[in-house]
């Protein structure tokens, strides 16, 4: 088990989470077409949102990124063929300590079927690289030399996945999925009393914001169809457990179709938040108004706009409008007072709609704005400004400049190539895997007195700069608090796949069983005998996963998936 120090990992070690030690990682990618003609800082701050605009600006000014082999500045214009390169000190978010369970291993060695826990991304993406299904399966912990994903699940969704062990098997299995020869069934817990009988939703789906991943029902979208059947109604919690049979495989299909019916998944961080979809009980039932606006919203302007509540209670909309007006004024003040520097589209909100294939309505823009604000507030961007404030002069030290690297490439499609002299390592990362809850840590903050103290202590000796507690001693970024294990998954699980070569299924998640009291599996284990047991082997992890599962018929009326 890895013994991570407080300064090199998260603020505390939650035994219900799996950690990866921070590590340096080289990146090399080529400019995408949508980046052409845009400034480097604008592209970075708009495309990638895991750090603040201030941090990106400061890191680029420190010269940590090269363009075609030369140091790039924030104002460098990107062109066709440009090669970007940098080295980052990666702090991967932890995932659940619950192991990936192997449901079936093909006797011929062509494929495996796994039960993916919620919180695991399928493949490297965003801030996740080693804490992903593909990388974990290829580590010594599981021992597979090469894996090919056949079907994919959202990071927060759990359940069945087919993983091929060679390219030929991958092609065959992928064709089965594309041709609709694989019948899929999911189980979900939703808000409210879901109607009895079969419900069919065939509304087309469209992604209108890549940054937040927002998908909505829209006539311009791709064909999508899902069949729903209620399994049972939990009167005490006013929630229903529903069997879901997607006939197509669109992004967020089940989640959006359930929202369209007015029964979103309760812990869905995108489609079931009152602060995003208004405080009314409808949660965008029947879809949102996508009628194109006559004007493009600009949060950087204080000009008065005529808003009208598209749905929900007027008081809720008034509250949201007041918040937007306040941010408009704050943005205007920043525009006039921040050393005359140019504000990025991400700071003004001008980039909202830039990735949408259709012109957006006022309502759609406001929903995207709320989703982005929610994420920014959760990440607490003020912390990044704090660290930039008192490391500005410290970066005169070559050692500090070297370590102030920031990631410019965050999705697997962008990481087209590794540095030629830095081959990708298959060495397994050290990780911490235990099983018991712990108290959620408090996010770090920097007090003004501490800032002044650090400033004074480093005058004339920038190389002696030492970050305070709660910040990485290598790259000086604030160490994020551990996520709440309850927020690492949603109540959506791929429970059964029926194929031409067999039927595969998992046990029913604890939250989908009748009589569930709200506790999750790791909480229940912690209260019983063997609490806080360490998972020392794959076999032990499989046994634990099997003990938590029990078969149940989720097909009312004998319907087959």
DSSP structure class, residue 500? T
SS (H, E, C) 374-426: HHHHHHCCHHHHHHHHHHCCHHHCHHHHHHCCCCCCCCCCCCCECCCCCCCCC
Tokens of 39: 């400034």
β-bridge mates for residue 372, sequence order: none
Catalytic residue numbers? 154
Cα three-residue angle 193-198-199, rounded to 5 degrees: 70
Tokens 């229940």 sit at which residue? 524
Tokens of 498: 């029926």
Tokens 């990638």 sit at which residue? 48
Burial of 539 (0-12, 13-18, 19+ CB in 10 A): exposed
Length of the chain: 561
CA distances from 177 to 26, 151, 560 (A): 35, 8, 17
β-bridge mates for residue 243, sequence order: 187, 229
Tokens of 148: 């090919």
How far is 350 from 459, CA to CA, in rounded Å?
Answer: 40
How far is 393 from 48, CA to CA, in rounded Å?
Answer: 26
Tokens of 164: 């091929």
Tokens of 173: 């299995």
β-bridge mates for residue 242, sequence order: 188, 230
SS3 content of the chain, % helix, strand, coil (to 5): 25, 20, 55
How far is 390 from 462, CA to CA, in rounded Å?
Answer: 11
Residues 6+ apart with CB under 8 A from 448: none
Residues 6+ apart with CB under 8 A from 334: 343, 347
H or E stretch covering 398: helix 398-403
Residue 101: helix, strand or coil by DSSP? strand
For the chain, the C-alpha Rg in angstroms (whole number) is 24
**Biggest CA pair distance of the chain:** 78
């Amino acid at each position: 088990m890895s013994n991570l120090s407080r300064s090199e990992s998260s603020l505390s070690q939650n035994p219900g989470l799996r950690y990866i030690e921070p590590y340096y990682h080289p990146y090399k990618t080529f400019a995408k077409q949508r980046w052409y003609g845009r400034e480097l800082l604008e592209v970075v701050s708009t495309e990638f949102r895991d750090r603040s605009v201030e941090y990106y600006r400061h890191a680029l000014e420190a010269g940590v990124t090269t363009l075609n082999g030369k140091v790039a500045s924030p104002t460098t214009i990107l062109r066709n063929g440009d090669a970007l390169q940098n080295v980052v000190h990666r702090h991967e978010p932890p995932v659940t300590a619950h192991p990936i369970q192997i449901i079936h291993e093909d006797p011929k060695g062509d494929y495996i079927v796994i039960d993916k826990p919620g919180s695991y991304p399928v493949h490297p993406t965003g801030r996740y690289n080693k804490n992903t299904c593909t990388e974990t399966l290829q580590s010594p912990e599981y021992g597979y030399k090469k894996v090919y994903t056949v079907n994919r699940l959202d990071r927060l969704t759990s359940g069945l996945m087919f993983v091929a062990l060679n390219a030929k098997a991958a092609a065959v299995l992928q064709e089965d999925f594309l041709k609709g020869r694989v019948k899929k069934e999911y189980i979900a817990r939703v808000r409210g009393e879901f109607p009895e009988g079969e419900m069919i939703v065939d509304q087309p789906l469209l992604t209108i914001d890549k940054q937040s991943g927002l998908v909505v029902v829209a006539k311009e979208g791709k064909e999508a169809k899902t069949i729903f059947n209620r399994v049972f109604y939990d009167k005490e919690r006013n929630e229903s457990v529903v069997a879901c049979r997607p006939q197509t495989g669109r992004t967020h299909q089940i989640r959006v179709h359930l929202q369209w019916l007015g029964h979103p998944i309760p812990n869905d961080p995108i489609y079931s938040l009152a602060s995003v979809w208004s405080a009314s009980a409808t949660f965008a039932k029947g879809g949102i108004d996508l009628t194109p606006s006559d004007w493009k919203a600009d949060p950087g302007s204080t000009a008065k706009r005529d808003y009208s509540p598209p749905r929900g209670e007027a008081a809720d909309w008034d509250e949201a409008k007041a918040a937007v007006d306040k941010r408009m004024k704050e943005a205007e003040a920043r525009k006039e007072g921040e050393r005359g520097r140019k504000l990025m589209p991400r700071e003004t909100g001008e980039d909202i709609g830039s990735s949408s294939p259709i012109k957006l309505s006022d309502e759609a823009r406001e929903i995207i704005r709320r989703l982005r604000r929610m994420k920014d507030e959760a990440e607490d961007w003020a912390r990044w400004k704090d660290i930039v404030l008192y490391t500005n002069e410290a970066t005169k030290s070559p050692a500090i400049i070297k370590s102030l690297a920031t990631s410019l490439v965050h999705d697997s499609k962008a990481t087209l190539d590794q540095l030629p002299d830095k081959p990708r390592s298959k060495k397994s990362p050290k990780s911490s895997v235990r099983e018991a809850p712990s108290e959620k840590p408090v996010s770090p903050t920097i007090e003004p007195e501490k800032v002044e103290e650090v400033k004074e202590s480093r005058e004339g000796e920038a190389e002696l700069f030492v970050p305070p507690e709660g910040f990485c001693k290598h790259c000086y970024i604030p160490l994020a608090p551990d996520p709440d294990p309850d927020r690492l998954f949603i109540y959506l699980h791929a429970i059964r796949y029926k194929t031409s070569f067999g039927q595969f299924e998992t046990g029913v998640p604890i939250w989908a069983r009748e009589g569930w009291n709200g506790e999750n599996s790791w909480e229940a284990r912690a209260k019983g005998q063997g609490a806080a047991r360490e998972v020392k082997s794959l076999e032990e992890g499989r046994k634990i996963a099997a003990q938590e599962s029990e078969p149940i018929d989720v097909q009312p009326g004998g319907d087959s998936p």
